[in-house]
Amino acid sequence: MPPPHLSISILLLCLFFFTLLEATKPLNLTLTLPHQHPSPDSVALHVTRTINASLSRRQLTSSSTCGTGNPIDDCWRCDSSDWSSNRQRLADCSIGFGSGTLGGKNGRIYVVTDSSDNNPANPTPGTLRYAVIQEEPLWIVFSSSMFIRLKQELIINSYKTIDGRGAAVHITGNGCLTIQYVQHVIIHNIHIYDCKPSGGAVVAASPTKVGRRGRSDGDGISIFGSQKIWVDHCSLSHCTDGLIDVVLGSTAITISNNYFTHHDEVMLLGHDDKYVLDTGMQVTIAFNHFGQGLVQRMPRCRRGYIHVVNNDFTSWKMYAIGGSGNPTINSQGNRYSAPSDPSAKEVTKRVDSTDDGEWANWNWRTEGDLMENGAFFVASGEGVSTLYSKASSVEPKAAALVDQLTQNAGVFGGPSRDDQGQSGDSYSGYGGGGDGGTGAIGGTSRGSSSNGDNNFFGMIFGNNAPPRPRLTLLLLPLLMICVLSTSTLLLW
């Protein structure tokens, strides 16, 4: 007989193996993403309470010229006598699912002094690209206003804040911002526009990881498999594909105080209806202004839980909020102003679904929303559930206060936000051309865009990249050991 301690060790090893095997089943719906909140309704409730508290505080201190009632802005602009001397205070101010996003908090202040992007594979110190690929936490600021035309997509590492306050920072060019399989990233006060597809080039993702990139779609900001991401006070327009895409198991995200204009497919949340990990996607969309020249996807949701709160939807051409794959959409305290087109009054669209029975149980709810110019929201779901009641137990501040809450949406001190290159409600997507990487801001020509809902997001490293680890492969040796050891025990 083998020694007792050996028998016990073998049995424990087998138990450990089967526990891990159970945890790696691909369709195990109890699997959660990193930073996925177990009770998204409670997060929605906390957001409404935070807004109400900030508004109440402003009423009590109405003599203040700073407070707007917007809890994010009042946090860093009003609670400190000089925000520029305490920039990292911003990291304490996010709300919703992205609350607690650190960015480069407690890291060094890194000053970008060089606006060039000459070598994406080996970036020059002083450039934005050099800063964002570093391994250490960095709070990145800019020495002056600058125009950065990217040669390839800008791959951002974990624990980074790109803070454009105090300067006019414009980012455009090939690929734009990629947040891929990282966490704790803050993008704040940046102009992002005219982003074009890129790929086929060697690009650095860290000081030690350099590889050939696959094709990017030309999104303004692409978020892949990442958590704790906060995009705040940016102005986005005129990109080839989406302005912001959140896909492939990303969660714990807040998109707030941004200004979106002149674009077709504004925001995509969820990679594919069948991509199970996106069930854990949780996104807060708050205090944004959806302005002139927008067509659809504000956002377009697949799976997940999306809280849309206190946004101003000026207009749309097709619909404002769309979805498929049974996402939960919690719309509270928004202003929806429908276009004059009588066929486009509905706020909501069940994409690729014509059968009411297919989506009748999807949990889409509207509360405290203001519908203007004939706008209407088609709710669905089997009544107000207990959890949803908890989320909605505090009346959201909305109709009369949306102007106040979104008055500073976009980049602070930017130009007239509804006049960035085009006037009126027209939209024309990027169709190629441009000035070859040099020239004035907005110096690209624009044509038409016709990207569908089923685009494959190929923004991954090419042949030089190792595949993402699969735990089942790592467990095969354990399985062999377990089987052989168990057989030995039985034969002993």
Q: Which residues are catalytic?
A: 297
The pairing of beta strand 305-309 with beta strand 328-332? parallel
Asked if 384 and 226 touch (Cβ cutoff 8 Å), the reply is no
CA distance 337 to 134: 44
Q: For residue 412, what are the CA distances in angstroms to 77, 319, 388? A: 12, 28, 35
Q: Assign 147 to helix, strand or coil.
A: strand
Looking at the DSSP bridge assignments, the partners of residue 232 are: 188, 256
Type of residue found at 220: G
Residue carrying the six token digits 């804040």: 161
CA distance 196 to 431: 9
CA distance 270 to 298: 13
Distance, first Cα to last Cα, the chain:
6
CA distance 56 to 48: 12
CA distance 276 to 316: 30
CA distance 295 to 316: 5
DSSP code, position 213: B
CB atoms near residue 437 (< 10 Å): 13
Q: State phi, psi for 446 to the nearest 5 degrees.
A: -125, 140
Asked if 118 and 124 touch (Cβ cutoff 8 Å), the reply is yes
Asked if 242 and 219 touch (Cβ cutoff 8 Å), the reply is yes
Type of residue found at 444: T
Q: H or E element: which one contains 285?
A: strand 282-286
CA distance 403 to 407: 6
CA distance 265 to 283: 18
Helices 471-491 and 4-23, interaxial angle, to 10°?
A: 150
